Amino acid sequence: MKALILIDVQNDFMEGGALEVPQGAAIIPLINRLQTHFDCIVATQDWHPATHKSFASNHRGKKPFEKILLQGLEQTLWPNHCVQGSWGAAFHPSLETNRIEAIFRKGMDPERDSYSGFYDNGHQKSIGLAGYLHEKKRDELYFCGLAADICVYFTIQDALQEGFKCWLIEDATRPLIQEHFKRIKNNLLKQGVHIITSKDVAEKA
C-alpha cells in the first residue's frame, strides 16, 4: 500500500524565506493535486529551537554555509530557519493540510541536525516515521517537497534502508543547488528509486 510523504513545505524554504529554495512555491499546486490520489498522507516539518547548533548565528565568527564538525559529522551552517513557532516554520498557507494525517517534526535536538524525516543525521534518534508507516502497512512511499538535494534526498536514503520502495515525484520537488541534484538523481536511480512525474501518479491512480 502507498503513502505520500510531504517534506518540509514550509515558509522559510519558499521565495523570500530565510533559506529560500529557488521556485519552491511552484510545487505547491502540484502537491495539492497529488494528495487526491492518496489515502495516506504524511508530512515532515523542520522544527528547530533558536539555539540549534546548525545555525551559523550560534557559532562566533561563523557565516552561513561554512562547514564545521558537529557531533563528529560535517555540518553545513545554515541561516536561522524554521524556528519553532515562527512564521517561517509554518506550512506555506497555500498548502492544503486537511488530508495530512500525521506530522513528524525534526531537528528539535539543538545538538543534532536532522535532514531526514526518519532519523537525525547521526542516526542516534528515530523521528518515528518508520514505525508509523510500518504500523499502517504502507510499503510504497512517494516523495515530494523541499529541498530535493537535502531533506528529500536524505529521507529517501533512510526509507531505502528501512526497506520501503521509493518513488520521487520530480516535478513536485526543487533542489537548493541544481548541480547537486543532478548527481543525487543518478545515485537514486542506481539504488532503484523510481523517478516519476505528477502526471505519472495521476495516470497510475
Residue 2 to residue 169: CA distance in whole angstroms: 14
Whether 129 and 44 have beta carbons less than 8 Å apart is answered as: yes
Q: CA torsion 152→178→174→38, rounded to 10°?
A: -60
Residue among 53, 82, 106, 120 flagged as catalytic = 106
DSSP state of 39: S
Is 8 part of the annotated catalytic residue set?
Answer: yes
Residue 140 to residue 177: CA distance in whole angstroms: 27
Residue among 40, 82, 144, 151 flagged as catalytic = 151
Is 113 part of the annotated catalytic residue set?
Answer: no
Q: If we measure between CA atoms, which residue out of 45, 46, 65, 48 comes closest to residue 56?
A: 65
118 contacts: CB under 8 Å, gap ≥ 6: 126, 127, 129, 130, 155, 158, 159, 162
User: Is the bond into 18 cis (omega within 30 degrees of 0)?
Assistant: no
Is 185 part of the annotated catalytic residue set?
Answer: no
Task: List residues with catalytic annotation.
Answer: 8, 106, 151
